[in-house]
Amino acid sequence: MATGLLDSMTPLLQPVFAVLSLERDPLTISRVLDWYAIRYYLLTVGSVTSLCLLLWFLFRGWKQVSRLSPGTKLAFTILGLLSLPMVGLDIFSLAQFTQPLWPNYDPEKTAPAAISAMMRPEWINDVLAFSALASILAVSLPFLVNLPRLSFRRIFAIAKLSFKEAIRKRVLYAFTGLLLILLFGSWFIPSKSSDQIRTYVTVVFWAMTVILLMVSALLAAFGIPADIKSQSLFLIVTKPVERVEILLGRLLGYMSLLTLILIVLTGAGLLYILRGVSPEAAEESLKARAPVYGILHYENTGSEREGDNVGREWAYRGYISGSAATPGSGQPKAIWDFTALPSVLAGRPTVTAEFTFDIYRTTKGFENQGVGIGMAFTTRNYDAEKLRLERESRDREGKPALTPDELAEKFGFFQPAASITFYDFSTGSVEVPGKLFVNAQTGPEDKPPIIVTVTCKEITQYVGMARYDFYFREDDTSRGADALRFSWNFAKASMGLWLRILLVTTLALVLSTYLSGVVSLLVALFVFMLGQFQEFLLALVIGRVAGGGPLENLSRLITNEVAGKQLENTALNNVIMNTDRVLREFLGGLMNFLPEVQSLSFTEYVSNGFNIGGADLAANAIRTVAYLLPWLLLGYHALREREVAGPT
């Protein structure tokens, strides 16, 4: 699939940095589970459930409710009433979405729906979230009422059946394709020996991703439709089987098969990568670095938040030059504040700091020649004046100079060398005395325990850095066992792939409860792709992509006008542009319903030898499951409402 292809091919196409150039922060559990995130989730899901309630009520009316048992009826009535604020919000939002189509619309004066939603007072959002929860519960009520009836034996029976069925369908043949890629892959992939692991990891994960996601989508999309076509489903639904058991059973069956396959493939892939690793590659990537990151800011550059922009790589890295921007101002500096340091670091003789910066040369012809940078580590107890006095008095009294350990422990200061030579595309490292971390443990609360300052030593060059370009290693670099830690890391990346498999499988399965196999397959893959390209979609919504909306482009096609030129201010063109505004708003709303796919890909971590955070993985798992729950609810209702023997 193209997504898997694209996201793992990227490192092949670009110059490979020996550092994690992720443009996202690792996800934390507290970020996923904090009230704002939950509230946003409730509002998003609730907007659909409340709309469904409204439509259901309009089309089916009260008659169906009156047939429910008294307890259920009461619960449904209460929840339905509590959902009214959300229903109100739905209607209001729809009105706002279509605003540009109203007469007298003035784009200058009216705020887009998304903006006005952001300006709602907090308490209203809280109330709405509560109402959203009520509407979700109301929609889940038939399921919740039947919850005690669910039987694991039935779910397991269906799971086992799906498992067997999948095996009989000989889907496993698809995996011989993977074998071919592995066997012949190295013929086609030339690589520097230091990039060996990087390339292999990328290729292996790319192949695994494509094949596994394809197989899971195929399996899940055609299971239920085939059962309906062969009418085998007739016999199942005329047994005391809850429809949700069919869904869960199938999911369980497919996921156990796919998990088994994933485990085998992970093992095979790992063996393939680990046999005959070159020493250079091992140095770069056969690791699972556990980085401790600081917060980056700059001094004496354009702004504190950014370095100077040299027009390269978007604005991911900020650049500092070797000379002051204007005469009289200070030397530009990049500064990392380390506010939270694990206490294990203080117990080590030395702690490894690693960094990879980008060099931007203003003078040509010196590629592959290093650039000198200055680096200083100071703790919150560091006092430049005190250190200077101590040094002077030692000089006077003829005492030996302070050792690095003494400097670190007593004065909270460490400087590896006056200038470190640094090369493109490689990871530099510095051993920092553990005593520095002992010193940093106590001190003024308002200062960060450790600060690292980096300067560029050469006047004509720029050095670019991003937050994640500098880190301390929490894992003990002296302990060895690199291959083992790398393998575990590889397995963790497989878990990320597992989450993507879960995503595709569930999507395809849910869609197939109502749609035909082929359509489910296509829609599931489409949703997955949209999730993959969320960033692009977002750019589209915000209007960063040049050329205007779909209708505007269509009209340009027809009238043969050049893109980029402002459309004339005619009535027709106004209608066109306003309709595009509405489409854009809807697209923006739709974005909320796409899965987070990119953060589930950890290939880059493994290929560059970075440890995948357990919390990152767990938080992503929570988010993926939370995303899938409403889909399952949809599938449950679709299967319940479906006339199984009806016309297809």
- Looking at the Cβ atoms of 227 and 580, the one nearer to ligand ATP is 227
Distances (CA, A) of 403 to 391, 409, 410: 12, 10, 11
Give the nearest distance from C-beta 636 to other proteins in angstroms: 13
Give the nearest distance from C-beta 63 to other proteins in angstroms: 12
Tell whether residue 480 is a contact of ligand ATP (CB under 6 A): no
Contact call for residues 619 and 32 (beta carbons, < 8 A): yes
Residue 259 binds: one of other proteins, ligand ATP, none (C-beta under 5 to 8 A by kind): none
> Measured on CA atoms in the order 356, 360, 363, 365, is the torsion positive or negative?
positive
Q: How many residues bind other proteins (CB under 8 A)?
A: 31
- Looking at the Cβ atoms of 444 and 646, the one nearer to ligand ATP is 646
Tell whether residue 67 is a contact of other proteins (CB under 8 A): yes
Tell whether residue 161 is a contact of other proteins (CB under 8 A): yes
Distinct helix (H) and strand (E) counts, the chain = 24, 13
Reduced DSSP (H G I as helix, E B as strand, rest coil) percent helix, strand, coil of the chain, to 5 = 60, 10, 30
- Looking at the Cβ atoms of 70 and 398, the one nearer to other proteins is 70
Contact call for residues 60 and 641 (beta carbons, < 8 A): no
Compute φ and ψ for 150, nearest 5 degrees: -60, 140
Give the nearest distance from C-beta 222 to ligand ATP in angstroms: 21
Give the nearest distance from C-beta 229 to ligand ATP in angstroms: 12
Tell whether residue 238 is a contact of other proteins (CB under 8 A): yes
Who's near 479: CB < 8 A, 6+ residues apart? none
How far from chain centre, in Å, is Cα 282?
27
Contact call for residues 154 and 245 (beta carbons, < 8 A): yes
- Selected from 69, 230, 368, 560, the binder of other proteins by CB under 8 A is 230
Indicate the DSSP class of residue 286.
S
Contact call for residues 243 and 631 (beta carbons, < 8 A): no
C-beta atoms surrounding 370 within 10 Å: 16
Nearest CA to 204 out of 284, 265, 264 is that of 265
By residue count, the chain amounts to: 648
Give the nearest distance from C-beta 253 to other proteins in angstroms: 12
Residue 157 binds: one of other proteins, ligand ATP, none (C-beta under 5 to 8 A by kind): other proteins
Contact call for residues 358 and 465 (beta carbons, < 8 A): yes
Convert residues 588-627 into a mask of x (bound to ligand ATP by CB under 6 A) and - (unbound): ----------------------------------------
Give the nearest distance from C-beta 645 to ligand ATP in angstroms: 6
Give the nearest distance from C-beta 648 to ligand ATP in angstroms: 8
Convert residues 168-207 into a mask of x (bound to other proteins by CB under 8 A) and - (unbound): x---------------------------------------
Give the nearest distance from C-beta 228 to ligand ATP in angstroms: 11
Give the nearest distance from C-beta 234 to ligand ATP in angstroms: 12
* Stretch 587-646 residues interacting with other proteins (CB under 8 A): 643-646
Compute φ and ψ for 628, nearest 5 degrees: -80, -25
Residue listed under structure tokens 């109502």 = 514
Tell whether residue 15 is a contact of ligand ATP (CB under 6 A): no
The end-to-end CA distance of the chain, in Å, is 29
Tell whether residue 647 is a contact of ligand ATP (CB under 6 A): yes
List residues binding other proteins (CB under 8 A). 67, 146, 149, 151, 153-154, 156-158, 160-161, 164-165, 168, 230-232, 234-242, 643-647
List residues binding ligand ATP (CB under 6 A). 646-647
